[in-house]
Chain A
Amino acid sequence: MYNRIMYVCVIKLKAMLFSSELIKGTLKTILLKLLADNKRMYGYEITQRVKDLTGDRIQLTEGALYPTLHAMEAEGLLTTETEYIGKRVRKYYSLSKEGKSKSKEKISEFSEFLDTMKVLLDIRPKNA
């Protein structure tokens, strides 16, 4: 359930578009969680997995995905390996040791943030 909530705050929503201020900064957390659950993933695979998990409601744009992946790699959170698929190169991303601990830290931080926002905005579960 928690994972589902987390994935909501991404770049595009088919049903509803969030303002950029609202969704800013959550992409990194999503990528960390996805890569923590999967040994290694490549860019296109990540976008498809997000679509699948959110029932096509969230689509990561390439313009946000690749710059963030590069920045996370430079930060030491991700390790990469490349494989040749015919003539082209495919780059697989996986979490580094630092990335694994960062993933837990970011998810925990986001969870606390959601709890705080629920209290602050007085949001009650719909079935309550």
Chain B
Amino acid sequence: MYCLSEQQIDFILNDIRARGVEMEDLQSNLLDHICCLVEENLKEGEDFESFYRQTIPLFYKKELWELEEETITLLIFKNYPVMKKAMIRSGIISASLLSLGIIGKFLRLPGSSPCLVLGIVLMSFVFLPLLFTLKAREQKNVKDKVIIGLGVFAASLMCLSVLFKIMLWPYAMVLGLSSVFILLVLFLPIYFVNGIRNPDTKVNSIVTSILLIGGCGLFLSLVSVKRLQGTLVNELSIYTTGEQILKTEQGQLAVLTSRGSKPLQAMPETEHINKLCEALKSSMFEYATGHAGSVPAFGNIPDLHQDFNPGDFLIGNPKAMDQLEELERVVLDYNKRGKDQMVSGFISVAEDSGILAHANARRSAKARFDYYSSVLVAMNNLTQVEMTILQNEERRLISN
């Protein structure tokens, strides 16, 4: 019996690793197997390396790593039925949640947003990855695996884009446009060329490609970035101008009221109304532009990457809805106090128009809010509320 040295054992192990076998378990098995073969078939004094070189090709057809590939395939195959069941179940659940969420959103029912979010998360992170794993396993050709991978990746990006939009996170459109780019520029050419070459898949490939182009076209027509951005940049310019005037006037009034031995005290509701208006404007601005923080100075307009539905802003922001309702209550108190105290030239804040209309009921407030062409118009309306109060303070100062 041939006795292997430690160097020879290391040589075999290193060669197994160099041939692409990475699983330690499989490395040990192969090492022991080869050692047994050498020990039983080689006689003392015979050439080890030459015997080894002749023996190792008997283990495989093309390369030694085929064994590891086969092992992995068998391990996946073991889980195949479980994965298939999980894929079907997650698909049914996510589709149901999405349907419920969409119906709920149309009917403005509570709980529709969580349904949509859960459905999208389930589809992006469970259904689509499982679909890719199972479909890729069924394909032997690398090109087919790449096609499936690209398709699933683009679909996941599209789902995440919708999720980002619902959650009012920035870069929703970037994700959406990226997925369309991958679908049209990368996926479609490979899929189409590959599909029409095969007579069995020719018709299906043509139909699917047409549907895909149609779907992407519809998506892009919904976005229409240029028109939307043009309108919004104008609205933002108007808003920032108004905002600048308001801040200047407020600063000047503060200087005037602090003069004298007995500074003029503002009406009790004034500060509260201003704070609520600023908080609402700040969250609306973030919603409209994707930029957190205060409204920038005139001329420094950030990129607009959200298309707006003011109604959605309130639905997605219960805190903002609460603030709006509170603002409506405080404005009523303010108007009442102004009338009761017979302040000279007092101008009531408009209770039945603009953003405050119907703020006493959540649903009707949202309905009213939908009439605005954008959130920026509503922000302008809040600035006007603050300006009305500013005017009243100025009148009080003059009459004093």
Q: Report which A residues bind B (CB closer than 8 A).
A: 42-44, 47, 61-64, 66-71, 74-75, 82, 85-91
A86 to chain B, nearest CB (A): 7
Can you list 17 contacts pairing A with B, beta carbon distance less than 8 Å? A43-B33, A47-B33, A62-B58, A63-B59, A63-B60, A63-B66, A64-B70, A68-B74, A69-B29, A75-B78, A82-B28, A85-B32, A86-B6, A86-B9, A87-B10, A88-B9, A91-B29
* A43/B60 in contact, CB under 8 A: no
Having A44-B32, A66-B26, A89-B32, one finds 9 other A-B pairs with CB under 8 Å, namely: A42-B32, A43-B29, A47-B33, A61-B58, A63-B66, A67-B71, A70-B71, A75-B78, A87-B10
* B78/A66 in contact, CB under 8 A: no
Q: Which residue of A lies closest to B8 (CB)?
A: A87
Instruction: Find A70's partner among B35, B59, B75 (CB 8 Å cutoff).
Output: B75
Q: In the complex, what residues of B have CB within 8 A of residue A88's CB?
A: 9, 13, 28, 31-32, 35
Q: In the complex, what residues of A have CB within 8 A of residue B70's CB?
A: 63-64, 67
* B33/A44 in contact, CB under 8 A: yes
If A43-B32, A70-B26 touch, whether A87 touches B6 (CB-CB below 8 Å) is: yes
Q: Which residue of B lies closest to A85 (CB)?
A: B32
A105 to B228, CA, bound (A): 68
Asked if B77 is an interface residue, CB under 8 A from chain A, the answer is: yes
A28 to B126, CA, bound (A): 32
A61 to B55, CA, bound (A): 12
Q: In the complex, what residues of B have CB within 8 A of residue A43's CB?
A: 29, 32-33
Give me the 4 closest cross-chain CB pairs, A-B, nearest first.
A71-B74, A44-B36, A67-B71, A67-B70
Give residues 1-24 of B contacting A (CB, 8 Å): 4, 6, 9-10, 13, 23
* B33/A71 in contact, CB under 8 A: no
Q: Which residue of B lies closest to A70 (CB)?
A: B71
Q: In the complex, what residues of A have CB within 8 A of residue B26's CB?
A: 66, 70
Asked if B212 is an interface residue, CB under 8 A from chain A, the answer is: no
B80 to chain A, nearest CB (A): 12
Give residues 38-95 of B contacting A (CB, 8 Å): 58-61, 66-67, 70-71, 73-75, 77-78
* A74/B32 in contact, CB under 8 A: no
Q: Report which B residues bind A (CB closer than 8 A).
A: 4, 6, 9-10, 13, 23, 25-26, 28-33, 35-37, 58-61, 66-67, 70-71, 73-75, 77-78
If A44-B36, A62-B67 touch, whether A87 touches B29 (CB-CB below 8 Å) is: no
* B74/A67 in contact, CB under 8 A: yes
If A70-B75, A71-B75 touch, whether A61 touches B35 (CB-CB below 8 Å) is: no
A55 to B31, CA, bound (A): 26
* B9/A70 in contact, CB under 8 A: no
* A63/B61 in contact, CB under 8 A: yes
Q: In the complex, what residues of B have CB within 8 A of residue A87's CB?
A: 6, 9-10
Q: Which residue of A lies closest to B72 (CB)?
A: A67
Q: In the complex, what residues of B have CB within 8 A of residue A91's CB?
A: 25, 28-29, 32
A3 to B208, CA, bound (A): 53
Q: In the complex, what residues of B have CB within 8 A of residue A70's CB?
A: 23, 25-26, 71, 74-75
Instruction: Find A62's partner among B25, B30, B78 (CB 8 Å cutoff).
Output: B30
B62 to chain A, nearest CB (A): 11
Q: Which residue of A lies closest to B36 (CB)?
A: A44
* A63/B67 in contact, CB under 8 A: yes
Instruction: Find B77's partner among A47, A61, A71 (CB 8 Å cutoff).
Output: A71
Q: Which residue of A lies closest to B61 (CB)?
A: A63
* B59/A44 in contact, CB under 8 A: no
* B32/A71 in contact, CB under 8 A: no
